[in-house]
Amino acid sequence: MEKFIIKGGTPLRGEVRISGAKNAAVAIIPAAILAEDKCILENVPSISDVDVALEILSSMGAQIRRLSKSKIEVDTSRIKDGTVPYELARSTRGSSYFLGALLGRFKKASVPLPGGCDLGSRPIDQHIKCFEALGAKTDIKHGIVDLSADRLIGTQIYFDKVTVGGTINALLACAKAEGLTIIENAAKEPHIVDLANFLNSMGADIMGAGTDVIKVKGVSQLHGTEYSVIPDQIEAGTFMVAAAATCGDITLKNVIPKHLEPITAKLRKIGVYVEIEDDTDNVRVVGRPHYEGTDIKTSPHPGFPTDMQPQMTTLLAMSNGTSMVTESIFDTRFKYVDELRRMGADITVDSRVAVVRGVDHLTGAPVKASDLRAGAALIIAGLAAQGTTEIEDIHHIERGYENMEIKLRALGADIVKRYYPDDEKMRKAL
């Protein structure tokens, strides 16, 4: 058991390099199954969700070779079985992408229902709808999804609602299907485009990724490739908010500014200085002592990302006036609010709406991370708070942020990771 101990009040200053995108990497790694060949992946983040995805591949017979900290060779030519181990699948939401990849290659798949952060209901009904439209039969028993098909035939797929996971699984399943597949009401997130680019680099024929209509002409075979994962827009956004919350001055390197536009727009609106350096992949963020509240509603890309809602809400909790934050994606994304209240925040939640009344400052307190982005929000709160904050259950944070405490210390933060015993578990063991 580990926790972060943060002494707040120090402005963050300096440069930070943003790692590869978690949400892209956990889709691209299963996609390598379709190559039946060696793929070299660069700019891969060193996070636990990636480790689990690679472990799943390895358990099925793939050969994994780490060429450097962020460069990995994946050889999926020896995979013979389309079954994902139960315990591994239950630890990450990204395990659902093995359904589309294994179905696309073997015309069958057996994958336990995925785990990941507890953010409320996240059904896979739209994924199943896609697989069945392509010709697969579905059977869900004892928490395991079994897919089988004699052949996959291109078709027209319309998602009833925008679904990132469903769009990813559709691309994976139909890349080698016979004929043309048209995916309507598709998700448009940057990692959808990145997955499509990766598949195209392997020989797929995908057009329209990044729009709400994607056309895929199935090909009979894909091949190995060398590909670099895009920078993580959510990690970048988290550091942008951290700079603002601590009145810091941070330059983010290795970012795609266009991917940050929804975050940049809201930060500028409340009074944060954001400078996008011409002809570079750098963004500079300079914080100020006071900000004005604003209203935020999360929505699919290019709207404000749900994965940045907890971090932004934390900043609004220290801004002037009253703000309203509406969460339109997940049912229970406000679990972290109780922890912010421990630190002095004035936030009232009613279903999917939070009313945030700004306070002068937050005060350090012992808190727990309930999920990945909630943990990031608590780090930001701890960095800005007066006194010391201790954050438990940081394994959630390490699912999606690479060396978070190391990067923050390089910017001047007073943050350390400490091991601590879980007394309750120790008593049970005795």
Catalytic annotation, residues: 117
Instruction: Measure the CA–CA gap between 275 and 191, rounded to whole angstroms.
Output: 24
| Beta-bridge partners for 111 | 145
DSSP assignment of 229-251 equals PPB-HHHHHHHHHHHHHTT-EEE
Chain Cα centroid distance, residue 121: 17
Q: Which residues are annotated as a binding site for phosphoenolpyruvate?
A: 22-23
Pick the closest to residue 78 from 97, 95, 59, 65 (CA basis): 59
Question: In this structure, what DSSP letter does residue 63 have?
Answer: E
Numbered residues of the known binding site:
22-23, 93, 122-126, 307, 329
Residues annotated within the binding site for UDP-N-acetyl-alpha-D-glucosamine are 93, 122-126, 307, 329
Looking at the DSSP assignment, which residues form a beta bridge with residue 217? 180, 205
- Residue 387, CB half-sphere, CA atoms under 13 Å: how many? 11
d(CA 79, CA 82) in angstroms, rounded, equals 8
Contact in structure between 183 and 154 (CB atoms under 8 Å): no
